[in-house]
Copies of this chain bind each other. A is one copy, B any other.
Amino acid sequence: MAQKKNRAAGAAKAKNGIRNKLFDFKREQILEVAERFFYHRGYQATTVDAIAEELGVTKPFIYYHFENKRDILLHLLERTMSRSLSVFDGVDVEKGPPVEILKELVQRFVLAVIETRVSTAMFWRDEKDLPINDKENIRKMKRDIDGGLARIIERGIESGCFKVNDPKMVSICIAGMISWIYTWYQSDGRCTPDEIAARMSEYILNMVGAH
């Protein structure tokens, strides 16, 4: 009959706006540190104590703000997912010139991966540490992204501006090539994010035989 002691478990009350903002702020701080640590050391190898120490607090502070360790990972991954899906914001894959739309999507996608590369790495590495239904949730979002790319490629093929077969495989290839950035991008590297985006969109338009 142990009742929950932390706030993380229950929904935040509508009133007390200031307090809730403070609560959210602290959660953000925890997430920021956790992200860094999970990225460099991995989820399993990161201890809750280490996160607490980095923040200058103690473990119960963390458990007051999150239900458990997995809960922290889940929040990080959900944030990354929604950022990735936002690539489609304001873009209607069913209308407009496929070449332009694909180019735009690729560029946005590249920038999103670079921006979220730390959590994207966890995405592909630590997903297995989630409970099954959260895992399924994430898989679905991945499918949505591949599906969006596949649809624009299909339209491009139908309208004759792309010359390529198997839109599904092409879209997986595109998604892979872009996602892969997280394994090699370095902020002090040779190219800026915009340059990378520009080149990759060029390569990808070549790939689908755009003209």
The interface of chain A, by Cβ under 8 A from chain B, is 40-42, 44-45, 124-126, 128-129, 164-166, 168-170, 172-173, 175-177, 179-181, 183-184, 190-191, 196, 199-200, 203-204, 206-209
* Smallest beta-carbon distance A156→chain B, Å: 13
Q: Which residues of B contact A169 (CB under 8 A)?
A: 191, 196, 199-200
Given contacts A128-B40, A164-B206, A206-B164, contact A176 B172 (CB under 8 A): no
Distance of A156 Cα from B10 Cα, bound (Å): 61
Q: Is the CB of B199 within 8 A of A166?
A: yes
Q: Give A191 to B172 CA distance when docked, in angstroms.
A: 13
Contact sample, A vs B, 10 pairs, CB 8 Å cutoff: A40-B128, A124-B124, A124-B183, A164-B203, A169-B196, A172-B180, A176-B180, A179-B180, A206-B206, A206-B209
| A44 (CB) vs chain B CBs: closest residue | B44
In the bound complex, residues from chain B placing their C-beta under 8 Å from that of A172 are 180, 184
Which chain B positions have C-beta within 8 A of A129? 42, 45
User: With a CB–CB cut-off of 8 A, which chain B residues contact A40?
Assistant: 128
> Which residues of B sit under 8 angstroms from A165, Cβ to Cβ?
199
Q: How far does the alpha carbon of A173 sit from the alpha carbon of B183 in the complex, in Å?
A: 11
Least CB separation from A41: chain B residue: B128
From the candidates B45, B128, B166, B177, name the one contacting A177 in the complex (CB within 8 A): B177
Bound Cα distance from A204 to B169, whole angstroms: 13
Q: Which residues of B contact A206 (CB under 8 A)?
A: 164, 206-209
Tell me which residues across on chain B come within 8 A of A176, comparing CB atoms. Answer: 176-177, 179-181, 183-184
**Residues of chain B contacted by A207 (CB below 8 angstroms):** 203-204, 206-207
